[in-house]
Amino acid sequence: MDAQRGEPGTTLEVLEDTPALVSAAATTMARLMERAIRERGRCTLALSGGSTPRPVYGRLAAGELADRIRWRDVHVFWGDERCVPPDDAASNYRMAREALLDHVPLPAENVHRMHGELDPPQAAADYEAQLRRFFAGRPPLPPTARFDVVLLGLGDDGHTASLFPGQAAVRETERWVLAEYVEKLAAWRLTLTPVVLDAARHVVFLVSGTGKAEALRRVFQEPRDVDAVPAQAVRPSRGEVTWLVDRAAAGRLEPR
């Protein structure tokens, strides 16, 4: 396991291959979820979309790990969503439902999906209102969306969640959820903003494959430039960041 890099509270773990990465990610998530439930009686978990997490969700949903987690005390949210209906093949909700939610005894009311089928700005406003209700502080404390675990991926262009290079969302300082038309995708996306990502107790990045090696190198070895490398924007002030990557994705990192 590589030593810590860069920011305090940031750990980079390089796993030999994808199966080892999947296993480490599922185990790490289960450990963090159990800790949240033990310490606070519940776990608030924000899931990532894309393809990398799918086998991790499958591992969490089966066998020994699934049995360890008190699913009735887990609340599932999403870090981002495509603006499509929930049964669309591109839906991050659908992927998580098929790989995880349909296989564990998590109450339906604990599933807090982003409504990608709605008008995007309306869907973003609705989700933010839902988060502010769920994470309402005890007055006069303001609400703070402090997730126990946030799972994120890394795009080959350095994006994370749906914070894409050159888009405004990466610099948002007030709103918790934004809808953005992503030029390079010619599609609308919903995304948590850095305001929420930086409030997390624990962020786990999951990165696999040689296709991500340049993006990972930029994250760790280029000066911070959040417009160019949005994943660099994620710096929880009172939280930890664990990067779980396979050796292929780490191929361009300078050895410690």
Q: Which residues bind ligand 6PG (CB under 6 A)?
A: 48-52, 79-80, 92, 153-155, 159-162
Q: Which is nearer to ligand 6PG, 37 or 232 (CB)?
A: 232
Q: Which is nearer to ligand 6PG, 37 or 48 (CB)?
A: 48
Task: For the CB of residue 235, give the shortest distance to ligand 6PG in the complex, in Å.
Answer: 17
Q: Which is nearer to ligand 6PG, 79 or 236 (CB)?
A: 79
Burial of 195 (0-12, 13-18, 19+ CB in 10 A): middle
Contacts of 69 (CB under 8 A, 6+ apart): 30, 33, 34, 37, 60, 104
Q: Which is nearer to ligand 6PG, 37 or 44 (CB)?
A: 44
Task: For the CB of residue 146, give the shortest distance to ligand 6PG in the complex, in Å.
Answer: 20
Angstrom distance (rounded) from CA 184 to CA 193: 19
Task: For the CB of residue 79, give the shortest distance to ligand 6PG in the complex, in Å.
Answer: 6
Q: Which is nearer to ligand 6PG, 37 or 202 (CB)?
A: 202
In which residue are the tokens 């007030």 written? Answer: 174
Angstrom distance (rounded) from CA 48 to CA 234: 14
CA distances from 117 to 29, 49, 99, 109, 113 (A): 29, 16, 21, 19, 11
Task: For the CB of residue 113, give the shortest distance to ligand 6PG in the complex, in Å.
Answer: 13
Where would I find the H helices in the chain?
18-40, 54-60, 63-68, 92-99, 120-134, 194-197, 213-221
By beta carbon distance, the residue nearest ligand 6PG is 153
Task: For the CB of residue 21, give the shortest distance to ligand 6PG in the complex, in Å.
Answer: 11
